[in-house]
Amino acid sequence: MAQITSGFRSIFSHPAIYNLAQRLVGAEKARRVLARDYIPRQPGLRILDIGCGTAEILQHLPADTEYYGFDASEDYITQARRHFGSRGIFTAELVGQATVNDMPPFDIVLAFGLLHHLDDNDAITLFRLAKQALKKKGKLISIDPVYTTGQSQLARWLISKDRGQCVRAAEVYEKLAMSQFDHVRATVRHDMLYMPYSHLILECKKQDTRIL
C-alpha cells in the first residue's frame, strides 16, 4: 500500500488513537451520512467492508446486517471483535481473489478511505474484486480525499498531509472505477467532517442502469 506509516503518522496504527483522531475530526458524522444517504435501507443486507479499520460503521447499520470486515491490521481487527463481537465476521487479511471465491455474493461492498492508499494497478484490482464479489445490481461505495476545484486552500493542505500517497482528482478516481464498472456516480462533498476537507464518493453499480 502507498502510505506513510513512519514518524508522527505511526501513532495512528494504534486502534484507540486512530478512533480518537477520527472522532475529533468528525468521522462519526461522515459514517452517519454515508449510512443514511448512500447505503440502501433494506433488511438483511450482506455487506463486505474492505479495509474496515475498527468497523465503526457498524454503529450506523441495522442489527440484521450480515457484515464481513477485512483489514490488514491485526490490531484494528482485534478492536473490532472486542467492540462488535457477533455483529460481524472480522478477518485480519487483505482481500484477494481466493477471499472473494470463498464468500457468498454481497449486496454492498464498502471501501472507505482505501483507494487513496492504492496505486492505479492496485486500485483497478480492488474494483475488479469488488465487482466479482457483488450480486447482480449490487453496489460498491467508496469515499476518499480528493483534489478538486473550489476546495479551500486549507482543505488541500490537510489532504496533502494524509497517510495515503495516492490522493487523486475526481476524474481520475472515476476513470479507474469505470475500468471495471459501466455505471459510476461520482459525488464531491466538502461537508463530511468538522474541518475543511474534500471527499469523493463513488457509487459503482453492477449490471443495471439504475443507481440504488
Tell me the mean pLDDT in the region 15-30: 69
Radius of gyration over every alpha carbon of the chain, rounded to an integer in angstroms:
16
* 3-class state of residue 29 by DSSP: helix
Give the model's pLDDT for residue 163.
Answer: 85
Residue type, 51: G
Q: Could you please report the per-residue DSSP string of 2-22?
A: -B--SGGGGGGGSHHHHHHHH
Short-list 203, 99, 119, 108, CA closest to 166: 119
Chain centroid, CA 158 distance in Å:
19
* Number of domains composing the chain: 1
47 located within any domain:
yes
Based on the number of CB atoms within 10 Å of its own CB, is 82 exposed (0-12), middle (13-18) or buried (19 or more)?
exposed
At 128-162, the pLDDT tens digits run: 999 999 999 999 999 999 999 989 999 999 999 99
User: Whose grid coordinates read 471465491?
Assistant: 101
For residue 2, pLDDT over 80 is answered with: no
211 located within any domain:
no
Give the model's pLDDT for residue 27.
Answer: 87
Cell numbers representing residue 103 in the block: 464468500
Predicted confidence band of residue 12 (pLDDT cuts 50, 70, 90): very low
What Å distances lie between residue 141 and 154, 182, 184, CA to CA?
26, 14, 10
Residue 11: give the domain boundaries. Answer: 7-205
At 76-102, the pLDDT tens digits run: 999 999 999 999 999 999 999 999 999
Query: What pTM does this model have?
Result: 0.88
For residue 212, pLDDT over 70 is answered with: no
167 contacts 130 by C-beta, under 8 angstroms: no
16 located within any domain:
yes
Could you tell me which residues are beta bridge partners of residue 189?
A: 199
User: Whose grid coordinates read 482528482?
Assistant: 169
210 located within any domain:
no
Show the DSSP H helices in the chain as ranges: 15-25, 27-37, 74-84, 97-101, 120-133, 153-160, 170-178
For residue 196, pLDDT over 70 is answered with: yes
> If phi over 0 gives left and psi between -120 and 50 gives alpha, with beta otherwise, what is residue 89?
beta
Higher pLDDT, 210 or 202: 202
77 located within any domain:
yes
Give the CATH number of the domain where residue 125 resides: 3.40.50.150
What mean pLDDT value characterizes the chain?
A: 89
Alpha carbon distance 17, 185 (integer Å): 33
2 located within any domain:
no
41 located within any domain:
yes
143 located within any domain:
yes
> In the chain, what is the straight-line distance between the N-terminal and C-terminal CA atoms, in Å?
31
Short-list 17, 90, 98, CA closest to 50: 90
